[in-house]
């Protein structure tokens, strides 16, 4: 179709597809790297969920609010993460009736390896495209993304 319009990929539907393909290539590369480093069961949603737990831990309700999902949906994600050893439930020191979810050492390792992986992938893009083009791309995306566009509830996009 793009060829019919004059050759250069100027069909409107291509922009979101290319953005998603770029995103997907980054995520797929990261997850292959994580699998090779002891995290074969990580899914994109898990990173969002671990970010929602935060450094101080959180209740299932807090995690649900941060992700924009129900407490029950957050609880299911926490169950999966706990089963994989990425989080643990501990007694809440402020309320004996509640449990807090905390990131374990394994979860912290996955987050650190993810951050390092994203840096490595960005460096690969710089190697392929050049630092100026990558910086311009990032600046352009910041310009086009509305304020507050990044929300942790992007986890919903990856629920399956």
Mean pLDDT of 19-26: 95
Structure tokens at 94: 């402020």
Q: Which residues are bridge partners to 122 per DSSP?
A: none
pLDDT of residue 127: 98
The pLDDT score that the predictor gives to residue 4 is 47
pLDDT tens, 29-86? 999 999 999 999 999 889 889 999 999 999 989 999 998 898 899 999 999 999 999 9
Note the pTM of the prediction, 2 decimals. Answer: 0.80
Is-contact 114 30, C-beta < 8 A?
A: yes
Closest CA to 28 of 9, 41, 44, 39: 44
CA–CA separation, 107 vs 90, rounded Å?
A: 15
What gap in Å lies between CA 141 and CA 151, rounded to an integer?
Answer: 15
**Would you state the pLDDT for residue 147?**
75
């Amino acid at each position: 179709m793009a060829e019919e319009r004059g050759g250069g990929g100027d069909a409107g539907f291509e922009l979101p597809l290319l953005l998603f393909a770029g995103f997907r290539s980054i995520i797929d590369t990261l997850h292959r790297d994580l699998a090779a480093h002891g995290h074969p069961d990580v899914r994109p949603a898990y990173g969002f969920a671990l970010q929602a737990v935060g450094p101080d831990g959180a209740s299932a309700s807090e995690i649900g609010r941060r992700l924009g999902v129900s407490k029950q949906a957050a609880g299911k994600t926490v169950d999966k993460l706990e089963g994989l050893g990425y989080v643990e439930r501990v007694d809440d020191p402020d309320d004996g009736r509640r449990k807090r979810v905390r990131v374990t050492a394994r979860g912290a390792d996955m987050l650190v390896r993810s951050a390092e992986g994203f840096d490595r992938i960005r460096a690969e893009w710089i190697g392929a495209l050049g630092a100026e083009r990558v910086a311009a791309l990032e600046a352009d995306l910041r310009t086009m993304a509305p304020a507050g566009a990044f929300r942790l509830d992007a986890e919903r996009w990856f629920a399956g």
